[in-house]
A and B are shown apart, each in its own frame.
Chain A
Amino acid sequence: MQRPIKNNVSWIGKIDWELRKFEGEEYSTHRGSTYNSYLIEEEKVAVIDTVWAPFAKEYVENLEKQIDLQKIDYVIVNHAEIDHSGALPELMSRIPEKPIYCTANGVKSLKGHYHKDWNFHPVKTGDRLSLGTKELIFIEAPMLHWPDSMFSYLTGDNILFSNDAFGQHYASEYLFNDLVDQSELMAECIKYYANILTPFSRQVTKKIQEVLAFNLPVDIICTSHGVIWRENPTQIVQQYLKWADSYQENQITIVYGTMWNGTRAMAENIVLGIRQADPQVNLKLYNLAKSDRNDVMAEIFRSKGIVVGSPTINRGMLTSIAGLLEEIKGLKFKNKKAAAFGCYGWSGESVKLIQGQLVAAGFEMVDDGLRCLWNPDLNSIESCVEYGGKLASLLK
């Protein structure tokens, strides 16, 4: 249902408390999400983004309780991904002639998704669309996080519609950043950045600097997921600049797979060794099979160094670790160190393979890693603790 934001701008999105996996099964959303859509009722009426496809009918039914759909003048698509454009087919079936404003790449992605020739009006940075006394200014934002992405800025009300930028998967009945639990909110913000935006960090910094240079006052940032930043919206912009700058805290994350607990024993004793040598460093230990991959990734994002372990199977590593390393490579973390470890029974290739993957992912390997034969005996356990002690300095 419609919720007021400021003056003639209202929220007309969907709060999805049930969502637990996003982008198919790729991304965990323990706290649900929202699909934020906005209605601007000035002399001209604009709709900014819609909602995810399963909620399309509900969205359009609710919208036509608020406004005669024929009164909508413009549909703005900041980003064509289906969690935002999913109700477009339903909406456009009712108002097929209305113009859709999006980037040139947006035309490609919308056509690619829906195979319709709607009344597309491609826009570029600086293009303006008058709504009467106020206007929308468009700012292309390629690779934040798709080629089609853009922001829209509403003059007069000083609202930046940033789509996925500054958003997070966080359901709340209260919509606004000042009304929610701050630690939950920031946890979801960093998880979102780590898992989705890290590879685009250079573009994040450049785009923020470009938008700041426009000197447009921004009173509110209206995202497409999660909270609307109305109280001190600068805080999330400043946070993004930090996260985009090869972010790390004083933390080491150890993540491993294990078949019969040999590699687990190594992991636990390496952690012991690190802790004994450096009681200040924050430590996170994950048996990957028992852990949520996206949560682990957020911890890797926060870390200055990671230690990855796997036994050897069929001359390779466990597929769960292989999958994790594939994802780590795609995220393009910067300025992080790493080491590898694992148990083996005869050929023991996993450590070298993990190292190869981490080097390809841009990590600095600090040494040749540690291997233990079969099930670690007391001497091997001792060597793991010693190794942890060494890693405490090597991963500084």
Chain B
Amino acid sequence: MTKKVHIDEDECIGWGSCEEICPEVFKLESDSEKARVIKPEGGPENLIEEAIGSCPVHVSVGRIDGQY
């Protein structure tokens, strides 16, 4: 089952490594200076995992069990 990707916007500090690693799924918004999931259904699994691992406030990027 594919897991959805989400970002806890309250925790996000706008570091931006998620966007650098996987720009297909994550975007750092210049106005709010927070990251946003632009493709919640996901993308390249290995890059998503790497992006999640790279988040310095690691709680902010994660997974919700879910469906397409």
Contact = CB atoms under 8 A, between A and B. Distances in A.
Interface of A: 104-105, 142-143, 146-147, 202-203, 206
B44 to A, nearest CB: 23
17 contacts: A105-B56, A105-B57, A105-B58, A142-B13, A142-B15, A142-B56, A142-B57, A143-B15, A143-B56, A147-B56, A147-B57, A147-B58, A202-B33, A203-B13, A203-B14, A203-B15, A206-B13
Nearest to B59: A104
Interface of B: 13-15, 33, 56-59
Nearest to A206: B13
Given A104-B58, A104-B59, A202-B33, 11 more contacts: A105-B58, A142-B15, A142-B56, A142-B57, A146-B56, A147-B56, A147-B58, A202-B14, A203-B13, A203-B14, A206-B13
A143 B59 CA distance: 14
A147 B33 CA distance: 18
Of A104, A105, A142, A143, most B-chain CB atoms within 10 Å:
A142
A138 B15 CA distance: 21
A142 B58 CA distance: 10
Contacts of A146: 56
Nearest to A146: B56
Contacts of B13: 142-143, 203, 206
A302 B46 CA distance: 40
A142 B13 CA distance: 8
Contacts of A147: 56-58
A147 to B, nearest CB: 4
Contacts of B57: 105, 142, 147
B1 to A, nearest CB: 28
A104 B11 CA distance: 13
A215 B32 CA distance: 24
A104 B60 CA distance: 13
Contacts of A105: 56-58
Nearest to B60: A142
A22 B13 CA distance: 28
Contacts of B14: 202-203
Instruction: Pick from B13, B33, B58, B59 the residue with the most CB of A within 10 Å.
Output: B13
Pick the 4 closest A-B CB pairs, nearest first.
A147-B56, A142-B57, A142-B56, A143-B56
Contacts of B59: 104
A142 B56 CA distance: 7
Contacts of B58: 104-105, 147
